[in-house]
Amino acid sequence: MSSQPVLFVPGTKKSAIAAAPANNAWPVEDIVALFDLPFNDLLFRAQQIHREHFDPSEVELATLLSIKTGGCPEDCGYCPQAARYDTGVTAQKILPLDTVLQAAREAKAHGATRFCMGAAWREPKDRDLEQVEEMVREVKALGLETCATLGMLGAGQAERLKDAGLDYYNHNLDTAPEFYENIITTRDYQNRIDTLGRVRGAGIKVCCGGIVGMGESRLQRAGLIAQLANMDPYPESVPVNHLVQVEGTPLHGLDPLDPLEFVRTIAVARITMPTARVRLSAGRRQMGEAVQALCFLAGANSIFYGDKLLTTGNPEVEEDQALLAKLGLHAKHTLEQAKCGD
């Protein structure tokens, strides 16, 4: 397999994607056809595929901590941490190690098995990376899977994170290539592809997804899924974010995405990436229990867990525990718990 993710051009046929597996190439028109299926048929197909690869009642719990908040020089139209927008988020220095470890311990005590650390950087400097490497080593020593999202990575930086013990690196594509410049102008799509290639090349698992509800069309949502599904290999984790509109950002005030369209997006992600962890990420607080339940039925099997995602709100731990119990779902065990037979 190639370690370099492939930039898939919307509309190309399977034969034109030389680097993608012949039996797993997804032209955009095929993905649109999935979106267009009757809702019950789409969910039935997604649930069948989900059951082929996972315990359908298991949900992975991941906690996300902002280790460096605000002051980002990028112009991502959805992001309250961009320095150029007046959103009430103030720039802060990187958190001390003890604060990060306390948050990791609390996450583990509440059942999380993966701990994600996010920093509002365009790309980390070497002195920044040294601090993150120490965090990765210490969090991993607690028995948690580690994930980081630090922006673009330069030559050798992914290898350093791998040596520190990083399990996953998150770097979202955000949206389809043809819609990208409507959302971000301070970096281009290939920058994201290059970072994902460095992550793969270093032997770190890829966490990569996008945001829906940013004014894109269904065709463009299909284009995002095509980008993800045609990576070789596709990401092990696929976070699907529902836009949380923040006053002061350019995307504030958009008409909200129909909730069932979000559920369709989850189902299509499950069908096209059968063995990936499809994660309900930002926006769950606005969804309500019924929509979340449909997302689990559609093949979502991971959630961000905890009362905050970087700077935006998330359901309380007790709310999530109650919802999982109501639906008869259980949390994925840690490796330690699995060995103990818990």
Q: Which residues are catalytic?
A: 72, 76, 79, 116, 147, 207, 279
Residue 289 β-bridge partners: none
- Distance between CA atoms of 305 and 60, rounded to whole angstroms? 9
Helix, strand, coil % over all residues of the chain, rounded to 5: 40, 15, 45
- Of 73, 65, 75, 77, give the one whose Cα is nearest residue 91: 73
Contact between residue 179 and residue 157 where contact means Cβ atoms under 8 Å apart: no
Contact between residue 309 and residue 243 where contact means Cβ atoms under 8 Å apart: no
- Of 213, 272, 264, 215, give the one whose Cα is nearest residue 238: 272
- Distance between CA atoms of 207 and 65, rounded to whole angstroms? 16
Given CA atoms 129, 2, 223, 32 in this order, what sign does their dihedral have? negative
* Non-local CB neighbours of 41 within 8 Å, separated by 6+ positions: none
Side-chain-facing half-sphere of 179: CA atoms under 13 Å? 22
- Of 284, 199, 203, give the one whose Cα is nearest residue 239: 284
